[in-house]
Amino acid sequence: MLPLRALLALSVIVFLGCLTEVLPAGLLLGMSADFGVPPSTTGHLVTGYALTTALTAIPLTAWASRLPRKRVLLALVLGFAVTNLVIAASPWFAVVLGARVVSGAITGVMWSLVAVYAMRLAPPGRSGRALAVAMAGTPLGFAVGVPAGTALGELVGWRWTFVLMGLVAVPLFAWVSAVVPPVAAEPVRVSVPAALRVPGMVRVVVTVAAFSLAHNTLYTYLGPVLARSGRESSLSAALLVFGLAAVVGILVVGRALDRCPRGVLVVCPAAIVVAVLLPVDWLWGSMALWGLAFGGAPTAFQAVTAVVAGRSADSAQSLTIAAWNGAVAGGALLGGLVLDAAPAALTATAAALMVLPLLAAPRLPRSPGDDLVRQVGGPRGDAERGDGLHDRDDRRRGGQVVE
């Protein structure tokens, strides 16, 4: 049985972190008007956040690995509360940007910590499902949080959305304290060159970065894109359709990861290329397909990283997170430049960039997840002790599964 109470608490942390990260995309127009800056400048709230996450994920994950993991988890929740309340209260764009930078550093630790925490709480053979439950906060953030936050911002102002996120962290702190069991600290020595030398990791990192870059080039500026086509009033509903489809996506991926991780990495970007190229008259179908494909992608990337890295999962997860968030920053920056120079080209730019993950997809086996372990552990007896995301023998051998 999965430890559902603990995994659901982790999922809510991910939900809060996801919402904190992406909500400015839904509030972009209101924040721009309030601070008197163009949307491309307000997009720096996404760029600065993601760039900080990318730059700090590796060193902060290494530092936090020396501390009791539950205490780190609780500190992250408090950090989200403080930074969101500062953003809600500040009348100065520079202070808001600074709070976003601090929040970005918190998120860098959160992503790697929650992923490894969930897998270590899971019983043998259930790591893929445990990770899917814990990371369900990501599509739920898109499905419920972003549309609701966008609608709230439109009704009473964007600041109240950040107030609500800050206040939600208080009962969440108590819940995590009560139901999440402690996990022993396992200090890791993070070396980027060493992590990249793990067979297959370069392809994973390139795929993650290319996918995130393409997605965020368009998603960050969805509001201005819809406004340009006269459908600004459809933003909240479009984000809701995207998010609900993303929930379905993660449910599908949770079952597919242990069987065909490589297939997930190929199908998700291919579907997004089709979705973003659909005409604006097909908005709802486009957003549904985009959300369905996007929903499972972050979990798939973290799961495949764990399979490839084996014992070095902590280090590799922080590297993957750095790549993802560096590309979030790059996508927000690139999207802002295209929006200012040639707004009509923004959708085509995102579609062209999304082709890159298809070309860089790791050469993982097409066979089920237990075959991944057999490549690592040799005899069938080794494989039967666990799946590719949980087997301890796999971790001791270094997880070299792709060559």
How many other C-beta atoms lie within 10 A of the C-beta of residue 244? 21
| Amino acid (1-letter code) at residue 314 | D
In the chain, the N- to C-terminal Cα span, in Å, equals: 33
Report residues of the chain scoring pLDDT below 50.
Answer: 364-403
Instruction: Give me the pLDDT at residue 79, please.
Output: 92
CA 216 from chain center: how many Å?
11
Ramachandran angles phi, psi of 257, nearest 5°: -60, -45
Instruction: Give me the pLDDT at residue 213, please.
Output: 92
Contact 208, 320 (CB under 8 A): yes
Each as own residue / partner, the long-range contacts of residues 278-282 (CB below 8 Å, 24 or more positions apart, any chain) are: 280/229, 280/231
**What is the dihedral sign for C-alpha 355, 110, 365, 193?**
positive
Which domains are present in the chain?
4-397 (1.20.1250.20)
Instruction: Give me the pLDDT at residue 163, please.
Output: 92
Instruction: Give me the pLDDT at residue 361, please.
Output: 65
CA-CA distance, 101 to 80, in Å (whole number)? 12
CA-CA distance, 370 to 377, in Å (whole number)? 10
The set of residues, in sequence order, having a beta carbon less than 8 Å from that of 98 and lying 6+ positions away, is none
What is the DSSP-derived secondary structure letter of residue 390? T
Give the tens place of pLDDT for each residue, 363-398.
643 433 333 333 333 333 333 333 344 443 333 333
Instruction: Give me the pLDDT at residue 372, please.
Output: 35
Helix (H) or strand (E) holding 161, with range, is helix 158-179
Instruction: Give me the pLDDT at residue 200, please.
Output: 74
